[in-house]
Structure 1
Amino acid sequence: MDTSPVRPPGKDVVGRRVSVRHRTPDGAASDVVGRLLDAGSSLRLERRDGSVTTVEAAAVIIWRLVPDRPVRARRATATPVDQLTRITARGWPAIETEPLGEWQLRASSGFTKRANSASAFGDPGLGVDAALERVRSFYADRGLRPLVNLEAGGPWEGPLVERGWTPVDGGDTTVLVAQLDRRWPLDAEADVATEPDAAWLAAYVSPGEPVDLARQVMSGTPTAAYVSLNAAIAQVVVTGEWAGLSALWVPEEHRHRGLARRLVTTSLGWAVEQGADKAYLQVVTGNEPAERLYRAFGFVDHHEYRYLTLRSAPPPTP
């Protein structure tokens, strides 16, 4: 058995899943299971939900390698909305984050709504009025409009609407999930890189948008791939047991040639190689061509979300 009561896992084990028993500050023993991201004076382990735990190497009591995939994995569709939202946030991390109870305040100098909104899932830990005041002040301090990301029709929408918050333009977004219970082949003609190069970013970032901010946000996940195929692109990240597919784009002159399908196939194939057994993606609700593409890979609806912003105060009555 691959165990050691003295020597902690080293760099030769980075990337593998390990179970580590360690001594906590109060003298008790605790276990953590995850993929080893880094080894040295401290160990960083990524759990199956994508959260990262740090363990001091000197506190390790015993460790062992564990299988990459559990015998019984929780189905993607059974994941609660609040939990899945936190998982997806790890796949598109904001440059700056601040917890507000179970909510999360996110800012990235305006690059994408996902990275510049308060994620209102779970309990903010204080009353709704105080929570919304904290949201307003957080974004005002950064020169950004206040945005709240919440489940469409969920528990927080009514209280916010009652307080003058209104949906922003662009409609709702549907989160789709799939079980990765098979392997997909990597397309021999696709380029799969672990960093976005200038050509990839030029294809994704709209003219006038800050490329450096895009690089920071999109490179914030340790395990990511940037796929290119005949000027078409996609991004896939792996956090714990989850793969997140995004940034799929095919130039208009190259559409209807099967490139999108090949990009998805390669992205999912790469994710399975990294140990993912579930996947998620977000698509604008009602985008039927995109939904048909993804459903062919086994993706099904999980939930919908939308963004709300604070409505401007009405003008004074004459």
Structure 2
Amino acid sequence: MDIRRYSNGEEGFAKRSLEEFSLSAWPALRTVELDGWLLRFADGYTKRSNSISALHDEGEQDMVAKIERCESIYRQAGQPVIFKMTPFVPSGLDGMLEARGYRYVEPSLVMELGGLSVVPEPSSDGVIRIDGTVSEEWVERLTAMNGMSAGSGNTTMRLFERPLLPTGFFTLYDQDNAVACGIGVADGTYVGLFDIVAHPEHRNRGWGEQLLRHILKWGGERGASRSCLAVLQDNPPATRLYVKLGYRASYSYGYRVKL
């Protein structure tokens, strides 16, 4: 695992705050706190909602004992044991997990936009619809665009039934056709972008960029001055779009999964 670690200085504090926001913005159905570690559960839908975030380590338990306790809890829940590996996990954790047979998967980047003012206003192409609450209709559009199962769609509904932060569910239309959709979450500093997807029949036509502009404008209207998102490192087309809008890599992360 090649992830740069950060000290507790100003830069490290800012990036840790960004990771904390991402955990709050994308919820789980259940969360268990174990000696500073957060164990998240959402019926297996997405690793970010079903993984262990060792963001804060209280240091009151032996590391191996904590890992074994996590494994026991996830086995009891009938879910695979997944650790989210960020620059902020305890320094010895990765080696311990590798020695226990955990495989490193889905290397990803958190990207950050330092100022929303650099992003152009949305063009007049297309019509945006912004729903303040999640609906079956919106989830059906998301499911059709990204190919996820009906069960995963149902979990998405449950995850966002009662969001704690201002959340928008966006759909961009070209005439009567839904061409892109996504989620925006704002907290007064950041607007986070999640589940950004264009319809397979309408990709490479600029709709993704227009959707992002709309979400960023919405976030700015709710007090956000910065933005963040996560992207798989093996997704160059998406990364190029984000860089075009001004996003830059903030830190790397991935997951350790026990198969």
TM-score normalised per structure 2: 0.82
Q: CA deviation at 1:251?
A: 1.2
Whether the 8 Å contact between 2:182 and 2:193 is mirrored in structure 1 is: yes
Q: Residue type of the partner of 1:306?
A: G
Whether the 8 Å contact between 1:177 and 1:279 is mirrored in structure 2 is: yes
Q: Which has the larger radius of gyration?
A: 1
1:216 maps to: 158
Evaluate the alpha carbon distance shift between residue 281 and residue 160 of structure 1 in structure 2; reply closer, same or farther with a 3 A threshold. same
Evaluate the alpha carbon distance shift between residue 251 and residue 193 of structure 1 in structure 2; reply closer, same or farther with a 3 A threshold. same
Provide the rounded CA distance (Å) in 1 between the counterparts of 2:70 and 2:221: 39
Evaluate the alpha carbon distance shift between residue 164 and residue 152 of structure 1 in structure 2; reply closer, same or farther with a 3 A threshold. farther
Evaluate the alpha carbon distance shift between residue 286 and residue 157 of structure 1 in structure 2; reply closer, same or farther with a 3 A threshold. same
Match for residue 195 of structure 1 among 127, 133, 145: 133
Q: CA deviation at 1:79?
A: 4.8
Q: CA RMSD in A?
A: 2.3
Match for residue 20 of structure 2 among 58, 81, 86: 86
Provide the rounded CA distance (Å) in 2 between the counterparts of 1:107 and 1:196: 20
2:234 maps to: 286
Evaluate the alpha carbon distance shift between residue 110 and residue 243 of structure 1 in structure 2; reply closer, same or farther with a 3 A threshold. same
Where 2:151 maps in the other structure, the secondary structure is: coil
Bigger relative contact order, structure 1 or 2, given CA contacts below 8 A and separation 6+? 2
Evaluate the alpha carbon distance shift between residue 266 and residue 84 of structure 1 in structure 2; reply closer, same or farther with a 3 A threshold. same
2:67 maps to: 132
Q: Residue type of the partner of 1:134?
A: R
Q: CA deviation at 1:147?
A: 0.8
1:56 maps to: none
Q: CA deviation at 1:201?
A: 0.5
Provide the rounded CA distance (Å) in 1 between the counterparts of 2:88 and 2:165: 33
2:193 maps to: 245
Which 5+ residue runs of structure 2 have no aligned equivalent? Answer: 1-9
What is the CA deviation profile of residues 262-302 of structure 1, one whole-angstrom value per residue up to 9, with x for unaligned ones? 00000000001000111110001031110111111211101
2:3 maps to: none
Where 1:172 maps in the other structure, the secondary structure is: strand
Evaluate the alpha carbon distance shift between residue 78 and residue 181 of structure 1 in structure 2; reply closer, same or farther with a 3 A threshold. farther
Q: CA deviation at 1:225?
A: 0.6
Q: Residue type of the partner of 1:104?
A: L
2:82 maps to: 147
> Identity rate of aligned residues, in percent?
26
What is the CA deviation profile of residues 129-183 of structure 1, one whole-angstrom value per residue up to 9, with x for unaligned ones? 1110121122112111111111279633223212332224xx2111101123417
Evaluate the alpha carbon distance shift between residue 79 and residue 184 of structure 1 in structure 2; reply closer, same or farther with a 3 A threshold. farther
Provide the rounded CA distance (Å) in 2 between the counterparts of 1:266 and 1:214: 22
Where 1:87 maps in the other structure, the secondary structure is: helix
2:191 matches 1:254: no
Whether the 8 Å contact between 1:167 and 1:307 is mirrored in structure 2 is: yes
TM-score normalised per structure 1: 0.68
2:56 maps to: 122
What are the equivalent positions in structure 2 for 1:7-46 lying under 5 Å apart? none
* Count, aligned residues: 234
2:161 matches 1:227: no
Provide the rounded CA distance (Å) in 2 between the counterparts of 1:109 and 1:250: 25
What are the equivalent positions in structure 2 for 1:52-67 lying under 5 Å apart? none
Where 2:47 maps in the other structure, the secondary structure is: coil
Match for residue 161 of structure 1 among 98, 117, 120: 98
2:149 matches 1:207: yes
Provide the rounded CA distance (Å) in 2 between the counterparts of 1:153 and 1:80: 12
Q: Residue type of the partner of 2:141?
A: A
Which 5+ residue runs of structure 1 have no aligned equivalent? Answer: 1-75, 312-318
Whether the 8 Å contact between 1:176 and 1:301 is mirrored in structure 2 is: yes
Whether the 8 Å contact between 1:166 and 1:309 is mirrored in structure 2 is: yes
Q: Residue type of the partner of 1:201?
A: V
Q: CA deviation at 1:216?
A: 2.0
